[in-house]
Amino acid sequence: MPANVMVGYDGSPAACAAINAGAALFPNAHAWIAHIWQPPFAGKRLRRRLRAAARTADELAELIEREGAREADTIASAGVALAKAAEWDAEPVVKRTYGSDGMRLSQLAEQMHSDVLVLGDRGLDATDAVIGSVSDMAVHYSTVPVLVVPNPLLAEEFAALARGPIVVAFDGSPGADAAAEKARTLFPDREVVLAGVRDEDDDPAARQWPDDVEVLSTSEPNWLGRPRDRATADALIDFADRRDAAVLVVGSRGRSAVREVLLGSVAVAAVNRSHRPVMVVHS
């Protein structure tokens, strides 16, 4: 059965790349192309023209509302055209918000029963941060699996989207179990590979890994002060590269040494450091 996919779209190159990658991963899906608009509800050049045309503050506010809505619809329509060209059954969703775009997208994905929320790693408001604020907010708060697509993908990384295996970070925790189950559900025709990272503090006699788990080791020792979550994420990312994986899947919580309040730190590191798409599954 084709997946129901929601893509956050703002017209940026990263958002366009997210549609193309999503179409390769979920062919023939039904897609909601979601555009969120928020204050000041219009682009800078449009606001400049409207200020010159308005005679009063009230008239300016009315013009911005009207023209901003039209601009938002135009952006969403462009995303739909791109999605249809990628052979998705696509339709637009345009919503206004006064808060976080990432939070609103997460709410929309849940309300519309999306199977996955697809986002580019950076949008039009991006700085030099590895992951943009919209994607960061969504991976922390979405109850729907969030697929973050890096931009750019190399040719071999893009080719892997259509045929590569799905690598799932596995440590025996409920979060890892949920991630593995979701991966099998969303990618029923793909090989799903479970990968665990052995901690140097683990007692091999006390820790027994299931036979179907590829057990990895970090490439560097965990010196005092060295972030263990990054070493674990790097081991998983390196394994995904060696397997030419389509996606690296991580659970929202696990048995990592350091935990963030809402999202496991290994998941955060994987999203920020991987050059392949990463899907975060909340348990």
- Specify the residue for token string 């979060």: 175
What number of other Cβ atoms are within 10 A of residue 248's Cβ? Answer: 26
**CA 259 from chain center: how many Å?**
20
Helix axes 133-141, 101-111, angle to 10 degrees: 40
State whether CATH 3.40.50.620 applies to domain 155-281: yes
For CATH 3.40.50.620, the residue range(s) in the chain are 4-149, 155-281
Residues 46, 209: Cα–Cα separation, whole Å = 59
Residue 79: CB atoms within 10 A of its CB come to 27
Cβ burial, residue 141 (10 Å; 0-12/13-18/19+):
middle
CB 169 within 8 A of CB 248: yes
Tell me what pLDDT residue 261 has.
Answer: 33
- Report phi then psi at 79, rounded to 5: -65, -40
Q: Burial level of 253, CB count in 10 A (0-12/13-18/19+)?
A: buried
Which pLDDT does position 135 carry in this prediction? 84
Strands 192-198 and 166-169: parallel
In this predicted model, what pLDDT tens digit does every residue of 257-271 receive, in sequence order?
A: 333 333 568 888 899
CATH number of 4-149: 3.40.50.620
CA dihedral 270, 273, 278, 279 (to 10 degrees): 40
Q: Which residues of the chain have pLDDT under 50?
A: 124-131, 224-226, 254-262
End-to-end CA distance of the chain, in Å? 23
Contact predicate 14/71, CB 8 Å: no
Single-letter amino acid code for the residue at 233: A
- Looking at residue 219, its pLDDT comes to 61
The answer to whether 172 and 251 are in contact (CB under 8 A) is no
Q: In sequence order, what are the residues at sequence separation of 6 or more whose Cβ sits closer than 8 angstroms to the Cβ of residue 59?
A: none
Residue with tokens 């601009």: 71
The H-or-E segment that residue 217 falls in is: strand 213-217
